[in-house]
Structure 1
Amino acid sequence: MSPGKVLSNEAGQWLSRRDEYGQEHPEWEEFHSKNKTLVPTLVGTVKSLRETMFNVKMRGQIKAAPITKGLAVYDRTISSEKGVEIALRVYTPSPQEENLPVMIYFHGGGWALGDLEGEDRTCRVLCVSIGMVVVSVDYRLAPEHPYPAALNDAWAALQWVLADPARYNIDVNRTLVGGTSAGANLAAVLCHQAKVRGVTIHGQLLRIPVVCQSDPHYRELGLESMNYFHNTPILCRQSMVQFLAWYNPTDAADISVSPLLATDFAGLPPAYIQICGRDPLRDEGLAYADKLEQSG
C-alpha cells in the first residue's frame, strides 16, 4: 500500500489549514523579538549544541521553583543490551497507598541531546498532577551511540518496569509510554515493537513526535510543515537533517525510525498527541494521529 494513499479526507483538511495553524502568537512574537539569545536554533556541532542545551537548562532551573512536595524521586541504574548500563529516574507519588499507573518517559533532543535533568520538571508534574509513577530513561545518545542503541535502551527500560512492578507499586495493566520529539519517536516505535512481541502497552503520550524521516514518503503523503517552517526558531529543517545523520539509521523509511510508514496500526494503544502549530514536525504528528484514528 502506498503511504500517499492512506490519509483520510479529514487529515487532508487539517494539512490544508497550515496557514491557520502556523500563525505566530503575538505574545511569542514579542518575546522572541526581545530574547533571541534565549531561543537558540539547534544547528551546530554536537559539542556546541550540548553546551547550549546545558545553559538553557540552567537558566530554566534558576527561574522555575522546584517541585518537591507530593513525590519521592529515586535514581537507578539498569542493564541494557550487552550489559551496557543506563540510568533511570523514578518518580513516585508520596504517600502512595495503592498500585498506580506508570509512564515510561523519553526526553527529547534529536536522539543526540538531553538527559534526565532536561525534562525533570515535566516528569514531576506528570507524577504529582496525575498521580502516576514516572520512569524517565537516560538512553544512550548519538552520534557516539547511533541507531538502534536508544531504541534498545527504551525496550530495556520497559522490560525492567514490567519485570518487578511491585518494586514501586505499579499497576502493569496501566502501563503507558511517552516522550517529546525524538523521545516521542522512541515511545511510538516501542508501541509497534511491543505489539509484535506480545507485550501490552495501554497508552502513549506523544509530544511533537518525530514519526517520518523519509523525504520521498514525506512528500508523497503531502506533508509540508518541514519545508513550510524550514527556518523556525529552535528547531528548523537543518536541525532534523543533522539529527538524523547523527542517529544514522540503516534505512530512514524503516518503521523503527519512521513509524508513520507502518502498514498496520491495528491494536496499538490509545494515544494523546500534542503538536505545535508553527513547527517543522507538525504535519507528521497530525498524520500519525489520523493513522491511529483510522485504525480504531
Structure 2
Amino acid sequence: MAEEANQPNAGEIQPDVQAPTSASTTALDELRTRRKEYLKYQNETQAAALKGRASFLADVVTWEEFVALSDGVGLTYRVYAKSHEVSQALKGLRENGSSDEVTNLGITGSFIYIHGGGWRVGNLDSEDLTCRRLCHTLNLVVFSINYRKVPEHPYPIPITDAKAGVLAVNERYISKLTGLPVIICGSSSGGHIAGLITQAAVEGSLNIRLDRTALRGPVTVHPDHVPTRFKKSYNSYDTNDSRGEYQGMASNMRNGVFGMASIPQEIIETGQAFPLWGEFKGHPRTYIEVSDDDVLLDDGLCYAKALEEAGVEVKVKIRKVCWPAYSQDCGIYLGFYNVEYHRETMWANLRTIVCL
C-alpha cells in the first residue's frame, strides 16, 4: 500500500482530548470497545481486499496532514492521489501555489469526503476503500476529513471540526486547482455534516466554492422534528425499523445513541442543526443515493424534494439493496452482501457526480 508522511496515530484526532460528558463511565467504556471492534473489523476487511480483488487500489498514494484548531486541539485529513506523479504535483502546488505541473495530469476535480458512523464511530480508515475507488476510478483528488465524535465531543464539535478541515484543504489545495469542479460528499451522519457544510457555503458563512453535493443515505432531520410540509411523507423511520437489519435503529436515534441527543432543543428545528430545516435556493447540483429499506430513506427523499422545489437540479438513486451494501464503502469489497450486480451501476452513478 502506497503511503506517505503519516502523522502519529494516523486518522485520529491529535491530541485525543476528552471533553466533559454526562454519559456514564460504563456506557462510554462500552462505546469505546465497540469503536475498537468496528475499526478492527474495517481495517482487517479492507486490508484483505487491498491484497485481493481490490489490489489495484493499493497503488493509490495517500498522506495525512494536520490542522490546528482554535481550541488547542488538532485533527488530520487524508489526501488521495491516483499516482506518485500526481501526489508530487499536489505537494508542489501546496508549497509554491503553481498549478503548472498539475494541469496535464487529467485530474477531474476535488472531492471532499465526510465519513459516517452515527457521529460516534469511524475515522479516516473506516471508509478508506471508498475514497481510494473514487480517486482511482474517476481520477479525483480526494480529501477525507476527520472530526471528533460524540458523546465526548457534543454538538457542534463534529461539524465545526469538519468545517475547519474543509477550509484547510481549500486553502492548501482546492483553491489552487483552478478550473476544476469541487464536490462534497458524505455518507449517513457524514451526509448530515456535508449537507450543513453545503448550506454554510451557499450562505457565505464558509468561504469555499462548492459545485456539487453528493449525499449517500444522509441524515437530514431529527425524526421527531420533521417540517410540517414533510410529515405525511416521512415514514421510513418507523416502517423500516421493523426490518431485521434495522431492528431498534429508530429508537436508538431518538434516544441519542447515534449522537442527536447533544443537539440543543432550541435549535433542533433550524438549519443550524439539520439540513432539511435550512434554505435551499442557490444550492449546487446534488446527487442523493438512498436504499429502499433504510430507515433514512425519507431523509434523503424529503431533502431531494426540498431542493427540487427551490429549483436545484437533483439526481436521486433509490437502491434495491440494504444500507451496508451501498453505503459502507459502497458494499463492493466488504462482503456484507453479494453486490457484484450493482458494481458498474454504482460507479456509473458516482461518475454523474463529476459530470452533473
Task: Give TM-score scaled by structure 1 length.
Answer: 0.77
Instruction: Report the residue type matching 2:45 in the other structure.
Output: G
Three-state SS of the structure 2 residue aligned to 1:146 is coil
> CA 1:57/1:244 → structure 2, altered by over 3 Å: closer, same or farther?
closer
Residue number among 269, 273, 276 corresponding to 2:291 in the alignment: 276
The residue that corresponds to 1:50 in the other structure is 35
> 8 Å contact 2:61–2:81 — kept in the other structure?
yes
Distance 1:277 1:131 in 2: 30
The residue that corresponds to 1:261 in the other structure is 277
The residue that corresponds to 1:191 in the other structure is 198
The residue that corresponds to 1:111 in the other structure is 119
Report deviation, 1:54. Answer: 2.4
1:44-80, CA deviations, whole angstroms, 9 ceiling, x for partnerless residues? 9423431441243144225412454553211111123
> 8 Å contact 1:176–1:203 — kept in the other structure?
yes
Three-state SS of the structure 1 residue aligned to 2:251 is helix
1:192-224, CA deviations, whole angstroms, 9 ceiling, x for partnerless residues? 011112642111110000001151426752200
Three-state SS of the structure 1 residue aligned to 2:151 is coil
> CA 1:76/1:216 → structure 2, altered by over 3 Å: closer, same or farther?
closer
Report deviation, 1:190. Answer: 0.2
Three-state SS of the structure 2 residue aligned to 1:279 is coil
The aligned length equals 251
Three-state SS of the structure 2 residue aligned to 1:81 is coil
Structure 1 unaligned regions, length at least 5: 1-43
1:208-243, CA deviations, whole angstroms, 9 ceiling, x for partnerless residues? 000011514267522000000114425721332334
1:295 paired to 2:320:
no
The residue that corresponds to 1:159 in the other structure is 167
> CA 1:117/1:217 → structure 2, altered by over 3 Å: closer, same or farther?
same
Identity of aligned residues (%): 28
Report deviation, 1:123. Answer: 0.3
Residue number among 229, 234, 240 corresponding to 1:229 in the alignment: 240
> 8 Å contact 1:137–1:154 — kept in the other structure?
yes
Instruction: Report the residue type matching 2:269 in the other structure.
Output: A
Instruction: Report the residue type matching 1:46 in the other structure.
Output: L
The residue that corresponds to 1:252 in the other structure is 268
> CA 1:67/1:78 → structure 2, altered by over 3 Å: closer, same or farther?
farther
Distance 2:111 2:70 in 1: 21
Three-state SS of the structure 2 residue aligned to 1:98 is helix
More relative contact order in 1 or in 2 (CA 8 Å, sep 6+)? 1
The residue that corresponds to 2:13 in the other structure is none
Deviates more, 1:249-258 or 1:270-279: 249-258
> 8 Å contact 1:104–1:157 — kept in the other structure?
no
Correspondence list, 1:121-200, <5 A: 121-165=129-173, 170-171=177-178, 173-197=180-204, 199-200=208-209
Three-state SS of the structure 1 residue aligned to 2:75 is strand
Instruction: Report the residue type matching 2:282 in the other structure.
Output: G
1:90-131, CA deviations, whole angstroms, 9 ceiling, x for partnerless residues? 001223353542111111001111011100000000111111
Instruction: Report the residue type matching 1:258 in the other structure.
Output: F
Distance 2:303 2:74 in 1: 32
Instruction: Report the residue type matching 1:212 in the other structure.
Output: V
Distance 2:174 2:147 in 1: 23
Distance 2:136 2:273 in 1: 32
> 8 Å contact 2:196–2:272 — kept in the other structure?
yes
The residue that corresponds to 2:14 in the other structure is none
> CA 1:177/1:45 → structure 2, altered by over 3 Å: closer, same or farther?
same
The residue that corresponds to 1:86 in the other structure is 75
Deviates more, 1:83-92 or 1:62-71: 62-71
> 8 Å contact 2:115–2:189 — kept in the other structure?
yes
> 8 Å contact 1:81–1:153 — kept in the other structure?
no
> 8 Å contact 1:214–1:252 — kept in the other structure?
no
> 8 Å contact 1:102–1:172 — kept in the other structure?
no
Three-state SS of the structure 1 residue aligned to 2:136 is helix
Instruction: Report the residue type matching 2:64 in the other structure.
Output: D
